[in-house]
Chain A
Amino acid sequence: MDSKISNNDIQPVAVLGAGSFGTAVANLLAVNSPVYLYARNPEVVEKMKSSREHNGVRLHERITPTNDLQMVVEHCTTLFPVVPSSGFRDLIHKIAPMLHPYHVLIHGTKGLDVQLESDVPFEEQKVTKKQVKTMSEVIRDETVVVRVGALAGPNLATELAQGYPAATVVASPFNEVIQEGIRLLKNDKFQVYGNRDIIGIELCGVLKNIIAIASGGIAGMGMGENSRGLLISRGMMEMMHIGKFFGAEPEAFMGLAGIGDMVTTCYSTYSRNFTVGNRLAKGETLQDILNDMEEVAEGVNTIKIIKKLTESAGLRAPITENLYRVLFENQPVNEAIDTLMKYPFNIDVSMPDRISEAT
């Protein structure tokens, strides 16, 4: 195959998906191990090979771009799928026949998978918890792999590429997977924390995108920091309540992947989700914004799913509901903010009841 990898004693690892975050993860991993970076498009692979860079980011010398899934899955026991949630199930389904129970999959996708009923228009769909899956659940669903993990935390690809100090959370019910994540990812400038509550950590990454869109909206309206502080704290409560519905512990939201990632995303103009909200507030339409974004803003899809889900479960999620109206029902941003300000919140903090530990 490739001399750089086959001559090395260290086990290679693979990143599946060469988006900006996938490339960033591959560069992080390359500090410690040889890395295969899989991209679906052969032209992209060829370009990466010849230019040794991708979307303006230099590829670490230990990265081997490839288009050969079969080879990658055979050579690596630890794989990092990092593709948009809309293509996640397809990718996993594709590699399922090649996977073995000894494989470890640690994904970095911050979206949800939803299986809708065919031939029912989205507006009329009734979405239940059974139809909505986190990415780790998709992996468990589609493959024989049980040792599954998730990456989450304030990891803006642009900043990672610049080599600024940062940290991430590897979540998995398996200690073994957490240790593997730490071994592979940790370096002088990158700290790695472990967490056993994989659903909680995944939801942190998923749900914070909703709040990031709202934060972009507030910034776009030029409303200042008081209102952003208000949004972040109310958003946190909303995330925890939705999280509880999925069986996540509230603690997950307090950590790096929760409050850490949320603050980062809500302040960063690099964030795609933030950008969506920001440009909406300035009067652009959702379609126009999405049309000229190179990569997916997961928050848009997440809002759709969570709105449907909370509706059918009888949960209240005021921020999500209002964003849904802004995004899909042409409600002006300021009206949504008015509604939220009139919403009868009066308790500052009410922790969702602890989900009693299963014994």
Chain B
Amino acid sequence: MPVESDNYFMQSDESIRQERYKPIIPAPRKWPVVQLSKNSKQFIEEVIDDTFDRIKEVKSTREELIEELETTLYREKLRVKRNPWKVDPPDDAEFWAGLRSELASITGNPDDPAIDDKLDELLKTIISRYANEILSKFKPSSYRFARSFVKTGFTRLLNATHVKGWSALWSKKYTLNDQLHIVGETEHIRTLAQKGTIVLLPTHFSNLDSILIGWVIHSLGLPPFIYGAGLNLFNIGIIAYFMNSLGAYKVDRRKKNLIYIETLKTYSNVALQKGVHSLFFPGGTRARSGHIEKKLKRGLLGSVIDAQRINYEKFPEENRKIFVVPVTINYHFTLEAPALINDHLKMMGQERFYMENDEYATSYKILKFLVKFFTKGSSISVSIGKGMDVLGNYVDDDGHSYDKNGQRIYTREYFMHDKKIERDDQRDAEYTKILSEKVVKEFHKINRVFSSHLVAFTAFKILQKKHPKLDLYNLLRLPDEDQVILYEEFKEEFNFYLDHLKELNKKGEVGFASHMNQDVDKVIKHGVDNVGMYHAKRPLIFTKSGDITSENLNTLFYYHNRMMGYGLEDLK
């Protein structure tokens, strides 16, 4: 029977942070990720071969292949010229120019009997280039170093700000776990990690998430996961070091051509087949609006389905199962919020071309960001969901899937047609949609309501109701004097939403942070004090008379968005 963990939502932060988890696989040499990097040559060969087969399948005629190669080489030429990055290999321009003239000479000689072989060879060269670019360079030694650096470094920073005096730097009074509350299905995940391959799918709000989640994985005693990190992050020396050592592989968002995307998907796919635990941010990039992700990127999620099917196909006797685990991360305060929400509003407002600006593009800035976060940061909550199979059915501790009536499901049977496992890409694409919907639903369920998000939601809704004729953009330009909300009015509205959330909580559709379990005035105060607390202009403050007003409606809108998707927005 699937276990409905009733007490899951009730867990208090205090009881959680005392727990310590022993590593489930103590010897690093046995970690799947270590095995992978040891055999990386063979692994890369497999990725190249699989990718090659896939592309040949889609581009089956000579003409189609030539067209694909031409497009790819042309786009690479533009990229090298217009958008070069520090992290690009030094021979980038030369390499792509070389391939262009090679392609020209092949297609210039259409009567050559070896033309198809030559085209295939060229395709393989490109795939091989991409695969090697993507490859993660995991080293257990630097993993250990990075891990202890994160731990001691942050612990010291924390103590320096919370405990007075010089000795604070070496105080052990506060540990990272005081700031970071890991709740939910922790034991379950540890068990599953020994029964199959885990795919962690966290929500993504801040640049900090990758490091944070790395820490969570470590403190749960799980072996390191591999994950795709934006290549832009590797431009930054210090981050690149951590990324490499934590098992990150590189995702270059500048490259949108089919060959690259297929290589990337195959990379993740083959790693999953090898039983390497993986982590994707399924929303793609940080959620600019502040919403919990509603739409997930189908590409990487699809590779999970694909890998599961291949596992069933290749190993009919074994039950090599992949478990999907949604995770939500909650902060009172996202440092990048002002920039993110402005980007979002810009994108919504005008459909014009939009260039991603990297606001944390140097080691200095990123370090400053981390210091600020950990010294000023208020509590962070990481909520681990239940394991699901690749169709989104919950699994028990043995990794068996069950439907909502508690009936056992054999996941293998989803891929069967006429009593055998059969590949059907269109079917897999539909399954990806189903999985995506289930993950989004789960995000909302395991998400924990923070006081700060609910006060932001309440305040923004009140302003919206007061000015029903204003569209979003005009509302965000509301004059200061119209932004004041009387405390009693605020409290009434806050209670209204809180009651609704409590109903949802009873049905298991949302969680509450433990700071929500106090009297309403305190919760409101906690929320107003914490929401976006270190922004220069605060989303909400108390006025002298004890009423509530905003200093920055854009960030208020951002934090308000976190409570969207629960039906609160439709309440009259």
B298 & A359 in contact (Cβ 8 Å cutoff): yes
Max count, chain A CB within 10 A of own CB: residue among B414, B419, B433: B414
Distance between Cα atoms of A216 and B434 in the complex (Å): 41
Write out, one digit per residue, whether chain A residues 71-102 have a CB within 8 A of any chain B CB (1) or not (0). 00000010000000000000000001100111
Considering only CB atoms, which chain A residue lies closest to B411 in the complex?
A: A101
| B364 contacts partner chain A, Cβ-Cβ < 8 Å | no
Total A-B Cβ pairs within 8 A: 48
Enumerate chain A residues within 8 angstroms of B410, measured Cβ to Cβ.
Answer: 100-101
- Per the 8 Å Cβ criterion, residues 90-120 of A in contact with B are 96-97, 100-102
Considering only CB atoms, which chain B residue lies closest to A143 in the complex?
A: B403
Given A144-B403, A176-B424, A100–B430 Cβ distance below 8 Å?
Answer: no
Enumerate chain B residues within 8 angstroms of A358, measured Cβ to Cβ.
Answer: 295, 433
B414 & A175 in contact (Cβ 8 Å cutoff): no
Q: Interface residues, chain B, CB within 8 Å of chain A? A: 295, 298, 391, 393, 403, 405, 407, 409-411, 413-414, 416-419, 424, 426-427, 430-431, 433-434
Distance between Cα atoms of A284 and B58 in the complex (Å): 63
A247 CB → nearest B CB, Å:
13
A176 & B403 in contact (Cβ 8 Å cutoff): no
Max count, chain B CB within 10 A of own CB: residue among A11, A97, A143, A144: A144
Distance between Cα atoms of A87 and B251 in the complex (Å): 52
Max count, chain A CB within 10 A of own CB: residue among B409, B424, B426, B430: B430
Distance between Cα atoms of A97 and B424 in the complex (Å): 26
A144 & B407 in contact (Cβ 8 Å cutoff): yes
Enumerate chain A residues within 8 angstroms of B426, measured Cβ to Cβ.
Answer: 174-176
Distance between Cα atoms of A300 and B9 in the complex (Å): 45
Considering only CB atoms, which chain A residue lies closest to B417 in the complex?
A: A176
Q: Interface residues, chain A, CB within 8 Å of chain B? A: 11, 77, 96-97, 100-102, 143-144, 146-147, 173-176, 358-359
Known contacts A97-B407, A358-B433, then 9 further A-B pairs from the complex at CB < 8 Å, ordered by chain A residue: A77-B418, A96-B405, A100-B413, A102-B419, A146-B391, A146-B414, A147-B427, A174-B427, A176-B424
Max count, chain B CB within 10 A of own CB: residue among A96, A102, A146: A102
Max count, chain B CB within 10 A of own CB: residue among A77, A97, A101, A173: A101
Distance between Cα atoms of A77 and B433 in the complex (Å): 23
Enumerate chain B residues within 8 angstroms of A143, measured Cβ to Cβ.
Answer: 403
Enumerate chain A residues within 8 angstroms of B403, measured Cβ to Cβ.
Answer: 143-144
Considering only CB atoms, which chain B residue lies closest to A173 in the complex?
A: B430
Summarize A's interface: helix, strand, loop or mixed.
loop
A144 & B417 in contact (Cβ 8 Å cutoff): no
Considering only CB atoms, which chain A residue lies closest to B424 in the complex?
A: A176
A77 CB → nearest B CB, Å:
7
Given A173-B430, A175-B424, A175-B427, A97–B295 Cβ distance below 8 Å?
Answer: no
Distance between Cα atoms of A101 and B419 in the complex (Å): 11
Distance between Cα atoms of A97 and B404 in the complex (Å): 11
Distance between Cα atoms of A220 and B426 in the complex (Å): 48
B413 & A102 in contact (Cβ 8 Å cutoff): yes
List of 7 A-B pairs having minimum Cβ-Cβ separation, nearest first? A101-B413, A101-B414, A102-B416, A102-B413, A175-B426, A144-B403, A100-B413
A102 CB → nearest B CB, Å:
4
Enumerate chain B residues within 8 angstroms of A97, measured Cβ to Cβ.
Answer: 405, 407
Distance between Cα atoms of A173 and B419 in the complex (Å): 21
Q: Which of B405, B407, B417, B424 is the one whose CB lies under 8 Å from A102?
A: B417
Enumerate chain B residues within 8 angstroms of A176, measured Cβ to Cβ.
Answer: 417, 424, 426-427
Given A77-B418, A144-B403, A359-B298, A101–B409 Cβ distance below 8 Å?
Answer: yes
Considering only CB atoms, which chain A residue lies closest to B298 in the complex?
A: A359
B419 CB → nearest A CB, Å:
8
A146 & B431 in contact (Cβ 8 Å cutoff): yes
Enumerate chain B residues within 8 angstroms of A11, measured Cβ to Cβ.
Answer: 418
Distance between Cα atoms of A66 and B364 in the complex (Å): 76
Distance between Cα atoms of A358 and B436 in the complex (Å): 12
Enumerate chain B residues within 8 angstroms of A147, measured Cβ to Cβ.
Answer: 427
Distance between Cα atoms of A8 and B383 in the complex (Å): 55
Enumerate chain B residues within 8 angstroms of A173, measured Cβ to Cβ.
Answer: 430, 433
Considering only CB atoms, which chain A residue lies closest to B426 in the complex?
A: A175
B295 & A359 in contact (Cβ 8 Å cutoff): yes
A-B CB contact pairs (8 Å), 12 listed:
A11-B418, A96-B407, A101-B414, A144-B403, A144-B409, A146-B414, A146-B431, A146-B434, A147-B427, A176-B427, A358-B295, A358-B433
Considering only CB atoms, which chain B residue lies closest to A172 in the complex?
A: B430
Considering only CB atoms, which chain B residue lies closest to A180 in the complex?
A: B417
Enumerate chain A residues within 8 angstroms of B298, measured Cβ to Cβ.
Answer: 359
B132 CB → nearest A CB, Å:
30
Max count, chain A CB within 10 A of own CB: residue among B298, B393, B407, B411: B407
Enumerate chain B residues within 8 angstroms of A175, measured Cβ to Cβ.
Answer: 424, 426-427
B347 CB → nearest A CB, Å:
15
A92 CB → nearest B CB, Å:
12
A102 & B295 in contact (Cβ 8 Å cutoff): no
Distance between Cα atoms of A105 and B426 in the complex (Å): 18
A313 CB → nearest B CB, Å:
11
Distance between Cα atoms of A100 and B413 in the complex (Å): 7
Enumerate chain A residues within 8 angstroms of B418, measured Cβ to Cβ.
Answer: 11, 77
Enumerate chain A residues within 8 angstroms of B424, measured Cβ to Cβ.
Answer: 175-176
Distance between Cα atoms of A176 and B417 in the complex (Å): 9
Enumerate chain A residues within 8 angstroms of B393, measured Cβ to Cβ.
Answer: 144
Distance between Cα atoms of A97 and B295 in the complex (Å): 32
B191 CB → nearest A CB, Å:
24
B441 CB → nearest A CB, Å:
14
Distance between Cα atoms of A77 and B391 in the complex (Å): 20
A127 CB → nearest B CB, Å:
16
A174 & B430 in contact (Cβ 8 Å cutoff): yes
Distance between Cα atoms of A97 and B406 in the complex (Å): 10
B292 CB → nearest A CB, Å:
17
Distance between Cα atoms of A77 and B431 in the complex (Å): 19
Distance between Cα atoms of A173 and B411 in the complex (Å): 20
Distance between Cα atoms of A143 and B404 in the complex (Å): 9
B298 CB → nearest A CB, Å:
7
Distance between Cα atoms of A334 and B419 in the complex (Å): 58
A70 CB → nearest B CB, Å:
15
A357 CB → nearest B CB, Å:
12
A79 CB → nearest B CB, Å:
15
Considering only CB atoms, which chain B residue lies closest to A98 in the complex?
A: B407
A264 CB → nearest B CB, Å:
31
B125 CB → nearest A CB, Å:
31
Considering only CB atoms, which chain B residue lies closest to A358 in the complex?
A: B295
A129 CB → nearest B CB, Å:
11
A102 & B414 in contact (Cβ 8 Å cutoff): yes
Max count, chain B CB within 10 A of own CB: residue among A143, A173, A359: A173
